[in-house]
């Protein structure tokens, strides 16, 4: 299968440098390459920035904050609406950028851009609705009310698996609240972030309000600069739990505000009374979205013992119909894995489960005829409870199916992890659904559907999957501080 190179209608979206204070900076002592994970070919060469560059971006954001925080909510709403419109006008080009640098199928990339843009539309509508409260006091001569004010300069550190949506979900909320931002996209997928930076300028946001910095080998140092800066008042990070813990330690010296969306190990529970066709379709939609490379992908599929064999065969039959190939090629349903290290983890989980007695329903595996990063889905059944995949997030196309018999038993299995991001339930019985939804230790529980992403829904986890919420009306709260104002010595009420 050929590896097509995308053609763009708007070549202005292709940026070759970082964005600091309205200036595009491509000069640097060192550079790093961005490669297409499907073909392995070089896409772009970008500047390797240092801590001093990050400090310049922080200074620019701090200066811009002094005036941006005083813009009216209606003005910010207009800029946010402009950004939504620009993203939709450039949807096809933005989607091609994602597939080019991330490897996912173009159909999935189009979906990501629509989802990413929706946050600007949602927050354009929410901007004028950041409310305070009035409070009844014990002292008759006092009056108390609260204000929600922007927290300040925010560091936004994003992953490669959703190179547009993970940026917009954070940035839209921050800009709505009146904050300014420094965005650090992943070095594997920086082009989408740079394109968004360009469009934010076109949408009308003032210079310095949104800055995009780039680094590869200097990423730890750049992250440290953001975390330790007393000027940066908030860090928002999506990525691994291990990195989240490092960032949390680094931020302790300034006690800045944090919100983390970290690792997952999402259970799917299919009860014996579930609509089997729906359960199979939706489990596949969850498990193989991005070829399993999302934080909310189902990682452990628990199926009642009375239907496990039928369920496994139905999943395998549908998986065999996937068309795997370069994400930019016509007809491809699923693209490639991001890199060789990710494939090694999938292979280790597959081999471990088989060694411990799992049944192979669909062998899957590497597809060397396409390239080193292509991997067909593996479906295993009757996976044992001591398998690595029961404890660790695979982040790839392995579908491990476990057996259970009772509600109490499976809730125990599902909660036996330090993670708690997403969980899924399939049952026609409302008592079962409600009981399980309350008992599951997860920030999000999806019932009878495998895809729940929506800008109106609070997104986030519990336990070591992080804290804070993105999207919805609650998403603004993480970018504000609550101030109480007391006015004393007032006359008695008439």
What is the per-residue pLDDT across 146-165, written as a single tens digit (0 to 9) for each? 999 999 999 999 999 999 99
Q: Which residues contact 17 (CB under 8 A, 6 or more apart)?
A: 24, 25, 26, 27, 46, 47, 194, 214
Q: Which whole number is the average pLDDT over 206-234?
A: 98
The pLDDT of residue 316 is above 90? yes
Q: What is the mean pLDDT of the chain?
A: 97
What is the per-residue pLDDT across 90-145, written as a single tens digit (0 to 9) for each? 999 999 999 999 999 999 999 999 999 999 999 999 999 999 999 999 999 999 99
Fold adopted by 11-262+465-482: Aldehyde Dehydrogenase; Chain A, domain 1 (3.40.605)
Rounded-to-integer distance, Cα 344 and Cα 240, Å: 17
Confidence class for position 4, pLDDT limits 50, 70, 90: confident
- Cα 299 to chain centroid distance, Å, stands at 16
The residues annotated as belonging to the active site are: 261
Class of domain 266-447: alpha beta
Residue 492: the pLDDT is 85
Residue ranges per structural domain of the chain: 11-262+465-482, 266-447
- N-to-C CA span, the chain: 82
The pLDDT of residue 19 is above 60? yes
Antiparallel, parallel or unpaired: β 266-270 and 232-238: unpaired
* 3-class SS string, the chain: CCCCCCCCCCHHHCCCCEEECCEEECCCCEEEEEECCCCCCEEEEEEECCHHHHHHHHHHHHHHHHHHCCCCHHHHHHHHHHHHHHHHHCHHHHHHHHHHHHCCCHHHHHHHHHHHHHHHHHHHHHHHHCCCCEECCCCCCCEEEEEEEECCEEEEECCCCCCCHHHHHHHHHHHHHCCEEEEECCCCCHHHHHHHHHHHHHHCCCCCCEEECCCCCCHHHHHHHHHHCCCEEEEEEECCHHHHHHHHHHHCCCCCEEEEECCCCEEEEECCCCCHHHHHHHHHHHHCHHHHCCCCCEEEEEEECCCHHHHHHHHHHHHCCCCECCCCCCCCCECCCCCHHHHHHHHHHHHHHHHCCCEEEECCEECCCCCCCCEECEEEECCCCCCHHHCCCCCCCEEEEEEECCHHHHHHHHHCCCEECEEEEECCCHHHHHHHHHHCCCCEEEECCCCCCCCCCCECCEECCEECCECCHHHHHHHEEEEEEEECCCCCCC
For residues 303 and 270, is the Cβ–Cβ distance under 8 A?
yes
Confidence class for position 493, pLDDT limits 50, 70, 90: confident
For residues 387 and 400, is the Cβ–Cβ distance under 8 A?
yes
């Amino acid at each position: 299968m050929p590896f097509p190179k995308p053609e763009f209608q708007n070549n202005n979206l292709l940026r070759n440098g970082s964005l600091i204070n309205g200036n595009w900076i491509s000069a640097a002592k060192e550079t790093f390459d961005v490669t297409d994970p499907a073909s392995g070919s070089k896409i772009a060469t970008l500047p390797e920035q240092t801590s001093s560059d990050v400090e310049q971006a922080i200074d620019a954001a701090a200066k811009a904050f002094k005036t941006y925080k005083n813009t009216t909510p209606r003005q910010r709403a207009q800029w946010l609406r402009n950004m939504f419109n620009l993203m939709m006008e450039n949807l096809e080009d933005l989607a091609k950028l994602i597939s080019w640098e991330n490897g996912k199928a173009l159909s999935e990339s189009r979906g990501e851009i629509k989802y990413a843009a929706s946050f600007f539309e949602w927050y354009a509508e929410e901007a004028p609705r950041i409310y305070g409260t009035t409070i009844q006091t014990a002292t008759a001569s006092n009056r108390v009310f609260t204000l929600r004010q922007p927290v300040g300069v925010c560091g936004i550190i994003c992953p490669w698996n959703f190179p547009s949506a993970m940026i917009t979900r954070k940035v839209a909320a921050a800009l709505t609240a009146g904050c300014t931002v420094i965005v650090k996209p992943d070095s594997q997928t920086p082009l989408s972030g740079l394109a968004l930076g360009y469009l934010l300028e076109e949408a009308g946001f003032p210079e310095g309000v949104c800055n995009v910095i780039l680094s590869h080998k200097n990423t730890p140092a750049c992250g440290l600069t953001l975390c330790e800066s007393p000027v940066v008042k908030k860090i928002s990070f999506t990525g691994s739990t291990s990195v989240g813990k490092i960032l949390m330690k680094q931020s302790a010296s300034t006690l800045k505000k944090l919100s983390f969306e970290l690792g997952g190990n999402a259970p799917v529970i299919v009860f014996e009374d579930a609509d089997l066709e729906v359960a199979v379709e939706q489990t596949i939609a969850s498990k193989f979205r991005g070829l399993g490379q999302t934080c909310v992908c189902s990682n452990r599929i628990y199926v009642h013992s009375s239907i496990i064999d039928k369920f496994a065969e139905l999943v395998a039959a549908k998986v065999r119909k996937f068309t795997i190939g370069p994400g930019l090629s016509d007809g491809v349903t699923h693209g490639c894995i991001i890199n060789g290290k990710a494939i090694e983890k999938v292979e280790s989980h597959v081999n471990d489960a088989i060694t411990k007695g799992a049944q192979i329903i669909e062998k899957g595996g590497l597809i060397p005829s396409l390239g080193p990063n292509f991997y067909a889905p593996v479906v295993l059944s009757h996976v044992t409870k001591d398998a690595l995949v029961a404890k660790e997030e695979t982040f790839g196309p392995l579908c491990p199916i476990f057996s259970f018999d009772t509600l109490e038993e499976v809730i125990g299995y599902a909660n036996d992890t330090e993670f708690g991001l997403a969980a899924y339930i399939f049952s026609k019985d409302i008592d079962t659904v409600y009981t399980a939804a309350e008992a599951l230790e997860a920030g999000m529980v999806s019932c009878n559907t495998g895809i729940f992403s929506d800008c109106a829904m609070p997104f986030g986890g519990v336990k070591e999957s992080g804290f804070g919420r993105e999207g919805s009306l609650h998403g603004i709260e993480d970018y504000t501080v609550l101030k109480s104002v007391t006015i004393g010595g007032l006359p008695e009420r008439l």
